[in-house]
Amino acid sequence: MSKLRVAVLGAKGRMGSEAVRAVEGADDMELVAALGSEDPRNTLTDAGAQVAVDLTRPDAVMGNLEFCLANGIHAVVGTTGWTEERLETLRGLLAASPGTGVLIAPNFGIGAVLTMRFAQQAARFFESVEVVELHHPNKADAPSGTAARTAQLIGEARRAADLPAQPDATTTALDGARGADVDGVPVHAVRLRGLVAHQEVLFGDEGETLTIRHDSLHRSSFMPGVLLGVRRVPETPGLTFGLENFLDLD
Ligand SMILES: NC(=O)C1=CN([C@@H]2O[C@H](COP(=O)(O)OP(=O)(O)OC[C@H]3O[C@@H](n4cnc5c(N)ncnc54)[C@H](OP(=O)(O)O)[C@@H]3O)[C@@H](O)[C@H]2O)C=CC1
Ligand SMILES: O=C(O)C1=N[C@H](C(=O)O)C[C@H](O)C1
């Protein structure tokens, strides 16, 4: 069987360099290009890439995807910064390239995917909920894509259960003290030297609390998810949002 021809964008970055090693170590894949910010995108077509893994920056990913979709290259995207508006633009690009697949994974770690699923399940049972994400201080965006997605899933589950807005009697606060409001859920971002990627989802109700915590202690934790995405995306045209769609969680 011929090997999947894979390119990594952002190849010199923290995640990209790990992805380069993972692709090189996969028996069914061949790393055909490893691009940094200075490399022209046509390196991808010249190398005959079938799947591009984007681990760049929120301000770079859309241009990369435009190029990939215009050239029928499937994409596995770990880069963050996805708003509904950006997703809509991407859906438009995909409509013009119907056989091509894009996976956007807010988090490739199985523990993080499970955290989101468990939080979604717990959401309707608790009056209060807050999300705290904790990352290394070189991270460009806040809150993390994972925290934003977690809060969105919780918000959807609360609405589906007809829960009211959660109680919060704060009338005076320093700016930012209550975190960012994502879909009615306060999200707090910690940046601390020594950390990699961590998240706590705190639920509370009368007389009890529930904490769901996940820790990525090394970026190798994301690599099985990246490789799964690379294997599955060529057979999955259109937009897939979330690695859970490629996992049998139920
Ligand atoms: N989904 C997931 O599981 C995970 C997602 N991430 C996300 O991945 C992204 C990257 O994170 P991280 O590796 O820590 O960031 P880094 O800053 O370490 O790496 C980003 C790399 O992308 C390069 N780059 C920027 N623009 C382009 C471009 N147009 N083409 C090719 N390369 C480019 C940068 O090069 P230069 O320095 O020259 O600008 C840099 O080497 C972030 O959005 C982060 O949130 C991170 C971890 C897990
Ligand atoms: O930048 C990071 O490091 C990470 N980014 C992703 C995010 O924003 O959710 C995934 C993980 O948290 C690590």
- Calpha distance 147→43 (Å, rounded): 34
Q: Scan for tokens 């995640």, then name that residue.
A: 15
Residue positions forming the annotated binding site for NAD(+): 10-15, 38, 78-80, 105-108
Is 3 a catalytic site residue?
Answer: no
Report the side by side order of strands in the sheet with 197-205.
Answer: 180-182, 185-191, 128-135, 197-205, 208-216
pLDDT digits (tens, 9 = 90+) for 93-122: 999 999 999 999 999 999 999 999 999 999
pLDDT digits (tens, 9 = 90+) for 26-54: 999 999 999 999 999 999 999 999 999 99
Residue positions forming the annotated binding site: 10-15, 38, 78-80, 105-108, 136, 145-146
Among protein residues, the one whose CA lies closest to atom 9 of ligand 1: 79
Please report the domains of the chain, with CATH numbers, ordered by start residue. 4-104+220-246 (3.40.50.720), 110-217 (3.30.360.10)
Task: Give the whole-number percent of the chain exceeding pLDDT 70.
Answer: 100
Beta bridge partners of 45: none
pTM of the shown model: 0.97
pLDDT digits (tens, 9 = 90+) for 114-173: 999 999 999 999 999 999 999 999 999 999 999 999 999 999 999 999 999 999 999 999
Is 139 a catalytic site residue?
Answer: yes
Identify the pLDDT of residue 182.
97
Average pLDDT, whole number, for the chain? 97
pLDDT digits (tens, 9 = 90+) for 163-177: 999 999 999 999 999
ipTM for this prediction? 0.99
Average pLDDT over residues 74-80: 98
Among protein residues, the one whose CA lies closest to atom 5 of ligand 2: 144
